[in-house]
Amino acid sequence: MRPRKNRTDDTEGPDRDFVTALARGLEVLRAFRREGEALGNGDLAKRTGLSKSTISRLVYTLNKLEYLSYDPDTARYRLAPPVLSLGYSCLAGMPVRQLARPYMQELADYTGMPVAMASRDRHSMVYLERCKGTNAVTLAIEVGAHIKLATSAVGRAYIASQEPEEQAKILSVLKEHEGDNWSKVLPGIETAIESYERLGYCTSFTEWKNNVNAVAVPYIPKDGSPVIAFNCGGPSQTLTRDWIENDVAPRLVELVRRLSTVAP
């Protein structure tokens, strides 16, 4: 991943309704990428591209509001419980999760593999729901986890569901993000878009991880809320290409079709 470009802290940009201070505070919260991660001011400045003086004011404020906890022994910050409450409020406001869960569990029970629901978070897809299968050797990815947008089946399904103009914007962002790896990543995305147009699903065969196969199908809500995607993935030696293409993929397509008949 390329480092973020530094930006001048007092540059406001052309949108007069855009609250820059708020955006910077949210950038600080986004900088925490792994569960339990502790970061100092220097780490946060590097990840956000903001100056250390700006970071110092932001983390002071976020600590006062109890969104960050501070360890004086290490001079590092961690996300605090109020951040989690925001996430759960978001999930609670998504009735499609409850509607989809029985269908997801049915497919998970049939395949033995986990079935998940995810939506886009910049260069990643974030898991919003997950149903476990019966196979003991499966992916341990829980709600809130992020996986790559460009190489995962679920990320490719999201991209494939977008209109051409939006696809072009996403690809431009991913090209900068992937850097020198872009020439290897782009063909898989293009193949996924073609697969979605022709078959209704996208795949990733050992491209996200070298021992994982997965299939995904996007769901486009009728109420205009963000697109989500459903995937089923597992060890490539078990969840084979043949099984996906001839059985699992059609079942996942049917899952989304059934959901679309009951979701608002």
In this structure, the answer to whether residues 63 and 121 fall within a common structural domain is no
In this structure, the answer to whether residues 75 and 38 fall within a common structural domain is yes
Give the pLDDT of residue 91. 66
- 82 and 62 Cβ atoms separated by less than 8 Å: no
In this structure, the answer to whether residues 104 and 153 fall within a common structural domain is yes
For 191, phi and psi rounded to 5 degrees? -65, -40
In this structure, the answer to whether residues 27 and 155 fall within a common structural domain is no
Of residues 118 and 9, more confidently modeled: 118
In this structure, the answer to whether residues 180 and 236 fall within a common structural domain is yes
Give the pLDDT of residue 35. 66
Whether 1 is in a domain gets the answer no
Q: Which two tokens stand for residue 71?
A: 């360890």
Whether 46 is in a domain gets the answer yes
- For residue range 121-177, list pLDDT tens digits in order: 989 999 999 999 887 566 677 888 889 999 999 999 999 999 999 999 999 999 999
Give the pLDDT of residue 115. 96
- For residue range 206-260, list pLDDT tens digits in order: 999 999 999 999 999 988 889 999 999 999 999 999 999 999 999 999 999 999 9
Q: In whole angstroms, what is the distance from residue 50 CA to residue 174 CA?
A: 22
Whether 66 is in a domain gets the answer yes
Average pLDDT score over the chain: 89
In this structure, the answer to whether residues 128 and 204 fall within a common structural domain is yes
Query: What's the CATH number where 135 sits?
Result: 3.30.450.40
Give the pLDDT of residue 215. 98
Q: In whole angstroms, what is the distance from residue 121 CA to residue 127 CA?
A: 10
**pLDDT for residue 34 is more than 90:** no
In this structure, the answer to whether residues 140 and 249 fall within a common structural domain is yes
Give the pLDDT of residue 135. 74
In this structure, the answer to whether residues 76 and 98 fall within a common structural domain is no
CA 33, distance to chain mean position in Å, is: 12
Whether 3 is in a domain gets the answer no
Rg of the chain taking only CA atoms, in angstroms: 20
Whether 10 is in a domain gets the answer no
Give the pLDDT of residue 102. 96
Range of the domain at 202: 94-262
Give the pLDDT of residue 13. 54
Whether 76 is in a domain gets the answer yes
In this structure, the answer to whether residues 185 and 245 fall within a common structural domain is yes
Q: DSSP string spanning 9-29?
A: TT---S-TT--HHHHHHHHHH
Query: What's the CATH number where 60 sits?
Result: 1.10.10.10
Q: How many domains does the chain have?
A: 2
In this structure, the answer to whether residues 50 and 167 fall within a common structural domain is no
Whether 116 is in a domain gets the answer yes
In this structure, the answer to whether residues 101 and 75 fall within a common structural domain is no
Helix segments in 112-248, DSSP class H: 153-161, 164-178, 182-199, 241-243
The mean per-residue pLDDT over the stretch 93-114 comes to 92
In this structure, the answer to whether residues 65 and 150 fall within a common structural domain is no
pLDDT band at 94; cut points 50, 70, 90 = confident
- 97 and 91 Cβ atoms separated by less than 8 Å: yes
Whether 200 is in a domain gets the answer yes
